[in-house]
């Protein structure tokens, strides 16, 4: 069974990315073109079958960052995957081919941040009404933006 | 109904007329506001499109405008049925980032609150699930009223502890806000003893009932792989054979001091999830007794006496704190930037992931099974929509 | 001429008595269910809730009558009446005491069973005319279920007919002159037939555990979902009237109808005993209703065709064999 100490060199070797973080929490930052490869590596070889969440962070001038956390429940370690999309960029590969649960989570990211996941089977708003304008969790969206109270 | 880009999961049934039926946001058994657009062939569900978001209040944006002392009371409004564990996730995240210690007494109080909350939440689950299956005018209502009666006793305990029955504001960064009043420990022991006996009665009543077994056995089976990929947690994943309990995987708040069993069932159907939750009732009661026995003296918070709302400042950093809520893994991914308010807070709701499994398991079942499965998934829409 | 007026008056009295009984039976059910659920039930309206049914009836009569815009008006409006009439008509054949009844037909039980099955038409009309998918689904399930269960119901009801040797309801009652001769106590056949009768009644009346028809939590009142006010009241009236009628029938077929201490002398005492026994059957059904969860429609149909029907047929054949060998009880 793969442990977290063995996982780090494996990531370095396959993708050329150094994993930071201490102990059973690995932190890996991958560029968008290696995002899906990292996901596939995590699921197939690191045994991280459990998808905890996929979300995004708005770093203002530096752009958006997609964050995903997956876990290997048997070995007891977690992999926090981050992908900086770059200033002004909103496209990111989708993780749905790897974990089916990414479906709703990526829809929520799209809904809240406007991140367009390429390869997502059904990208549409999930929490907000389908004709909502704007992406609320972006820092540029004011908390008191007026919106109609009823549909 | 003009949802653009909708791709319905097809089952590939040949011919036959299909009926699109809406189990709309107002429905006696949607457990809150949930819309399921069912495509039916006769009585068999061929596809499910789950529409959520009716209870969306954007907690994540809200938390960026509230300080670390203001938000815990609001956090309870996500999983409002199990509010104690909701608040715990947020304050744990703040404590993890800020490396704030929590005194031992506060940790034990948190455990007592969380486990009592689990008992109360499962009471509600059992009652509403039987209500869905048996009808508001029928045997389901009987079980519902019995379970609510037990839940009321636990809520009375919470009322004497925090002053509120449903949404508490009990936790704060660094510990808890209230201490247990005099005589509370005795009342608590008496209540859990009574509930222990009653749960055995309900279990005997339900499991000897052939109709109940017929409705739940083999219905809504979730495989191990699907369970992990979708990220369901709590009694759902333990009902599918995966031994994953955060209280054991990453013990927090002194859970390693307590002796309790984590039930795991292999079948993955509604009956397995029911059995897991029934065992969890008893294990939670065991933990409450142990915690009351071993409750240490000391302060209840390392940051007592909050004088102003901006008092607690967390230095730059990020952490993901998770707790084992009644429904599964409730997590809070917090990014702090040194001020009194978080930079970004992501709320990982257990019910959001749990509900995401529905479009994968419902097709092929009958309409009546939809309510049985939804009840056994036990969603709370505050957590789904946040 | 006079006999026609007499018949009309008797019929009118019986009809009103039935309606009154239906309203108070709802209160009985609510109180019974409440006690099972550790609560009290209606308590405030009148002493111990005794005026609650009156309040409910007045409320329903005063409610606004909402008709869906796209509903098939003729079908929609007629459905409650088509549903109610057979349910009331079956009371005509019930003899409440020797000589006390509206029309004691020679083919009493056959008339009862045939007419009571006609309520399905009204039910389906209601489901179709409402222009509502829930109502339609419920109507489809209704036709499935009631037809499937009317057959075993019929066969089980024929067991006392064979034992008594006559289709006339008063003959069947007269064939049970004292407690030991009640058909429920007939060795083996009586008990099995009574059990099967209760199960068939539950299904034919859409009572939980067979109430997928109205499955509150799935179909929200089923075929009645679009009805309000007086039409809803008529449907409720029909349902409960049918329930009481089958309770009376069960008491007549199995529990000796008007037999009881002192009933030989006074027909009114006999009628009172009959009422008590009918309420016993009704409460038995209610007790089951408030204790069980509902089962799925495919399981219900499986129970009917694979379990109840063979049992009913076997019982009927066994009764036939016994009666041929020993002769009918009634003579």
Mean pLDDT of C191-210: 84
Q: Residues with Cβ < 8 Å from C122, sequence gap 6 or more?
A: C79, C80, C81, C82, C83, C84, C85, C86, C238
ipTM of this predicted complex? 0.90
Q: In this predicted structure, what is the pLDDT of residue B106?
A: 92
Contacts of B217 (CB under 8 A, 6+ apart): B269, B270, B271
> Taking CB atoms and an 8 Å cutoff, what residues of chain A touch B64?
143
Using a CB-CB cut-off of 8 Å, the residues of chain C touching B370 are: 218
- For residue A70, which phi and psi values (nearest 5 degrees)? -125, 155
pLDDT score recorded for residue C331? 47
The radius of gyration of chain C from alpha carbons, rounded to an integer in Å, stands at 20
B230 and A100 within 8 Å at the Cβ level: the answer is yes
Q: Is the pLDDT of residue B11 over 60?
A: no
B201–chain A nearest CA distance, Å: 35
pLDDT greater than 60 at residue B13: no
Q: Which residue of C has its CA nearest to B136?
A: C216
Whether residue B109 is predicted with pLDDT greater than 90 in this model: the reply is yes
Q: pLDDT band for position B9 (50/70/90)?
A: very low
Provide the percentage of residues in chain A whose pLDDT is more than 70: 99
Chain C residue with minimum CA distance to B41: C137
Whether C289 sits inside 8 A of B138 (CB atoms) is: yes
- pLDDT tens digit sequence for B266-295: 988 999 999 999 999 999 999 999 999 999
Decide if pLDDT at A57 tops 80: yes
For residue range C79-135, what is the model confidence (pLDDT) as tens digits? 999 999 998 888 888 888 777 777 778 888 888 888 888 888 988 888 888 887 778
Region B85-89 average pLDDT: 90
Number of Cβ within 10 Å of residue B289's Cβ equals 18
pLDDT at B7: 36
Partnered with residue B8 across adjacent β-strands are: none
- Partners of A125 on chain B (C-beta within 8 Å) are 53
Q: In sequence order, which residues have a C-beta less than 8 Å from that of residue B297 and are 6 or more positions away?
A: B105
pLDDT of residue B10 exceeding 50 = no
> Does B61 contact A at CB distance below 8 Å?
yes
Output the pLDDT for position A54: 92
Residue-level pLDDT at B93 = 92
Residues 6+ apart with CB under 8 A from B246: B252, B322, B323, B324, B329
What pLDDT, on the 0 to 100 scale, is given for residue B16? 59
Q: State residue B302's pLDDT score.
A: 83
Contact at 8 Å (CB) between B331 and B348? yes
Mean pLDDT of B320-340: 91
What is the predicted pLDDT for the residue at B159? 92
User: Are A126 and B53 a contacting pair at CB < 8 A?
Assistant: yes
Question: Cα–Cα distance between B179 and C308 in angstroms, integer?
Answer: 61
Beta-carbon separation of B229 and A121 below 8 A: no
Phi and psi angles of residue B20, each rounded to the nearest 5 degrees, phi first: -100, 115
Fold of A4-118: Beta Polymerase; domain 2 (3.30.460)
Name the token pair of A148. Answer: 């109609």
Of residues B30, B28, B5, B11, the one with CA closest to residue B355: B30
In 3-state terms, what secondary structure has residue C316?
A: helix
Phi-psi region of C58 (alpha: psi -120 to 50; beta: other; left: phi over 0): alpha
Length of chain A counted residue by residue: 151
Q: Is the pLDDT of residue A148 over 80?
A: no
B contacts of C220 (beta carbons < 8 Å): 27-28
B chain contacts of residue A67, beta-carbon cutoff 8 Å = 333, 346
Predicted pLDDT of residue B19: 77
Q: Which of 21-80 (B) contact C at CB < 8 A?
A: 21-22, 27-29, 40, 43
Task: State chain B's mean pLDDT as an integer.
Answer: 86
Residue C212: which of C114, C146, C306 has the closest Cα? C146
Nearest residue on chain B to A104, alpha-carbon basis: B356
Beta-carbon separation of C298 and B132 below 8 A: no
Higher pLDDT: C210 or C289? It is: C289
Confidence (pLDDT) at C214: 62
C218 touches chain B (CB under 8 A): yes
> Which of A67, A99, A122 faces B229 most closely, judged by CB atoms?
A99
Lowest mean pLDDT among A113-117, B239-243, C1-5, C207-211: C207-211
Candidates C137, C217, C220, C287, partner chain B, best to mutate (most B CBs within 10 A):
C217
Chain A nearest C-alpha distance from B360 (Å):
9
Contact in structure between B152 and B256 (CB atoms under 8 Å): no
Percent of chain C with pLDDT over 90: 10
- Tell me which fold the domain B59-361+368-385 belongs to: Cytochrome-c3 Hydrogenase; chain B (1.10.645)
Dihedral pair phi/psi, residue B275, rounded to 5°: -65, -40
What pLDDT, in 10s, does the model give residues A63-91? 899 999 998 888 888 889 999 988 888 88
Q: With an 8 Å Cβ cutoff, are B7 and A121 in contact? A: yes
Q: C-alpha dihedral over B357, A54, B378, B88, to 10 degrees?
A: 160
* pLDDT score of B2 more than 50: no
**Is residue B249 over pLDDT 70?**
yes
Residue B213 has pLDDT above 80, yes or no: yes
Q: Work out whether the CA dihedral B233, B234, B237, B238 comes out positive or negative.
A: positive
Torsion sign over Cα C24, C30, C33, C37: negative
Q: Where are the domains of chain B?
A: 4-51, 59-361+368-385
Q: What is the pLDDT of residue B277?
A: 93
| Under 8 Å between Cβ of C214 and C222 | yes
Q: What is the pLDDT of residue B113?
A: 93
State pLDDT tens for residues B311-329. Answer: 788 889 999 999 998 999 9
Where residue C256 falls among pLDDT bands split at 50, 70, 90? confident
Residue pair A141/A134 in contact (Cβ under 8 Å)? The answer is yes
pLDDT in the model for residue C166: 84
Looking at B85-89, B303-307, B328-332, B354-358, which range is the least confident one? B303-307
Chains that touch A (3 or more CB pairs under 8 A): B
Quick count: other Cβ atoms within 10 Å of Cβ B101?
A: 12
Give residue C298's pLDDT band: very low, low, confident or very high (50, 70, 90). confident
The two three-digit tokens of residue B302, written as one number? 């390392």
Q: What is the pLDDT of residues C17-72, one digit of tens each?
A: 888 988 899 899 889 988 888 888 888 888 888 899 999 889 988 988 888 888 88
Whether the bond between C209 and the residue before it is cis, its omega within 30 degrees of 0, is yes
Chains A and C touch (3+ CB pairs under 8 A): no
CA distances from C279 to B142, B302, C25, C43, C176 (A): 21, 67, 9, 21, 19
Q: Where do the domains of chain C lie?
A: 68-326
- Interface chains of chain B (3 or more CB pairs under 8 Å): A, C
B53 and A129: CB-CB below 8 Å?
A: yes
Residue A54, sorted as left (phi over 0), alpha (psi -120 to 50) or beta, turns out to be: beta
Q: Which of B50-64, B260-274, C118-132, C179-193 has the lowest mean pLDDT?
A: C179-193
pLDDT (average), residues C167-184: 81
Residues of A near B (CB-CB distance < 8 A)? 49-53, 55, 57-58, 67, 69, 73, 76, 80, 99-101, 103-105, 108, 112, 121-130, 136-137, 141, 143
């Amino acid at each position: 069974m793969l442990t977290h100490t063995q996982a780090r060199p494996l990531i370095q070797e396959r993708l050329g990315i150094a994993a930071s973080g201490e102990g059973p929490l690995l932190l890996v930052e991958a560029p968008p073109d290696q995002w899906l490869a990292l996901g596939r590596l995590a699921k197939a070889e690191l045994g991280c079958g459990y998808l905890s969440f996929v979300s995004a962070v708005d770093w203002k001038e530096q752009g958006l960052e997609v964050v995903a956390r997956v876990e290997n429940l048997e070995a007891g370690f977690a992999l926090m995957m981050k992908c900086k999309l770059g200033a002004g960029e909103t496209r990111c590969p989708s993780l749905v081919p790897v974990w089916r649960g990414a479906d709703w989570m990526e829809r929520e990211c799209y809904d809240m941040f406007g991140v367009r996941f390429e390869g997502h089977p059904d990208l549409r708003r999930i929490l907000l009404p389908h004709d909502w304008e704007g992406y609320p969790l972006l820092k540029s969206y004011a908390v008191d933006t007026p919106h109609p109270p009823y549909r | 109904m003009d949802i653009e880009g909708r791709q319905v999961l097809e089952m590939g049934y040949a011919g036959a007329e299909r009926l699109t039926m809406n189990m709309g946001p107002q429905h006696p058994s949607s457990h809150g506001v949930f819309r399921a657009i069912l495509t039916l062939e006769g009585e068999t569900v061929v596809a499910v499109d789950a529409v959520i978001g009716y209870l969306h209040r954007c907690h994540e944006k809200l938390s960026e405008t509230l300080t670390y002392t203001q938000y815990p009371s609001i956090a309870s409004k996500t999983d409002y049925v199990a509010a104690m564990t909701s608040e715990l996730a947020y304050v744990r995240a703040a404590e993890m980032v800020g490396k704030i210690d929590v005194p031992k007494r506060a940790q034990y109080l948190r455990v007592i609150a969380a486990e009592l909350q689990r008992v109360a939440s499962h009471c509600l689950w059992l009652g509403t699930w039987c209500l869905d299956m048996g009808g508001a005018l029928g045997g389901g209502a009987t079980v519902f009223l019995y379970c609510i009666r037990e839940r009321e006793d636990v809520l009375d305990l919470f009322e004497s502890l925090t002053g509120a029955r449903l949404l508490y504001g009990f936790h704060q960064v660094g510990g808890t806000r209230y201490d247990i009043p005099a005589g509370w420990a005795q009342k608590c022991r008496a209540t859990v003893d009574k509930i222990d006996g009653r749960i055995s009665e309900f279990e005997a009543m339900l499991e000897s009932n052939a109709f109940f077994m017929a409705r739940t056995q083999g219905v809504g089976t979730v495989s191990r792989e699907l369970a992990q990929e979708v990220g369901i947690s709590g009694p759902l994943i333990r009902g599918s054979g995966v031994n994953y309990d955060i209280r054991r995987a990453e013990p927090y708040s002194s859970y390693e001091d307590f002796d309790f069993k984590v039930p795991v069932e292999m079948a993955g159907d509604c009956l397995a999830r029911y059995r897991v939750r029934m065992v969890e009732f008893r294990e939670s009661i065991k933990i409450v007794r142990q915690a009351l026995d071993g409750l240490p003296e000391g302060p209840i918070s390392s940051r007592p006496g909050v004088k102003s709302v901006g008092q607690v400042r967390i230095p730059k950093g990020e952490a993901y704190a998770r707790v084992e809520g009644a429904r599964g893994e409730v997590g809070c991914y917090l990014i702090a930037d040194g001020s009194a308010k978080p930079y970004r807070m992501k709320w990982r709701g257990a019910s959001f992931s749990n509900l995401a499994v529905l479009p994968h398991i419902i097709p092929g079942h009958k309409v009546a099974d939809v309510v049985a499965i939804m009840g056994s998934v036990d969603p709370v829409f505050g957590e789904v929509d946040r | 001429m006079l006999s026609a007026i007499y018949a009309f008056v008797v019929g009118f009295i019986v009809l009103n008595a039935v309606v009154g009984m239906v309203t108070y039976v709802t209160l009985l059910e609510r109180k019974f269910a409440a006690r099972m659920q550790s609560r009290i039930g209606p308590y405030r309206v009148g002493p111990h809730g005794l005026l609650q049914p009156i309040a409910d009836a007045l409320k329903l009569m005063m409610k606004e009558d909402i008709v869906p815009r796209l509903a098939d008006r003729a079908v929609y409006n007629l459905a409650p009446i088509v549903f109610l009439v057979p349910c009331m008509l079956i009371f005509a054949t019930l003899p409440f005491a020797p000589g006390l009844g509206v029309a004691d037909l020679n083919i009493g039980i056959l008339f009862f069973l045939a007419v009571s099955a006609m309520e399905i038409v009204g039910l389906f009309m209601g489901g179709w005319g409402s222009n509502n998918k829930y109502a339609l689904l419920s109507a489809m399930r209704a036709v499935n279920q009631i037809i499937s269960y009317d057959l075993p119901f019929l066969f089980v009801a024929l067991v006392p007919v064979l034992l008594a040797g006559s289709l006339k309801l008063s003959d069947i009652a007269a064939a049970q002159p004292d407690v030991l001769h009640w058909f429920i106590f007939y060795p083996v056949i009586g008990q099995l037939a009574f059990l099967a009768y209760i199960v068939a009644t539950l299904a034919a009346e859409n009572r939980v555990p067979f109430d997928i028809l109205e499955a509150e939590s799935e179909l929200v009142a089923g075929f009645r979902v679009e009805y309000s006010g007086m039409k809803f009241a008529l449907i409720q009236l029909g349902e409960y009237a049918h329930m009481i009628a089958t309770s009376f029938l069960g008491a007549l077929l199995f529990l000796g109808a008007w037999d009881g201490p002192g009933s030989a002398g006074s027909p009114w005492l006999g009628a009172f005993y009959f009422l008590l026994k009918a309420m016993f059957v009704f409460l038995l059904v209610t007790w089951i209703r408030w204790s069980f969860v509902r089962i799925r429609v495919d399981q219900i149909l499986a129970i009917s065709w694979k379990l109840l029907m063979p049992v009913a047929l076997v019982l009927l054949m066994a009764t036939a064999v016994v009666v041929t060998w020993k002769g009918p009880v009634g003579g």
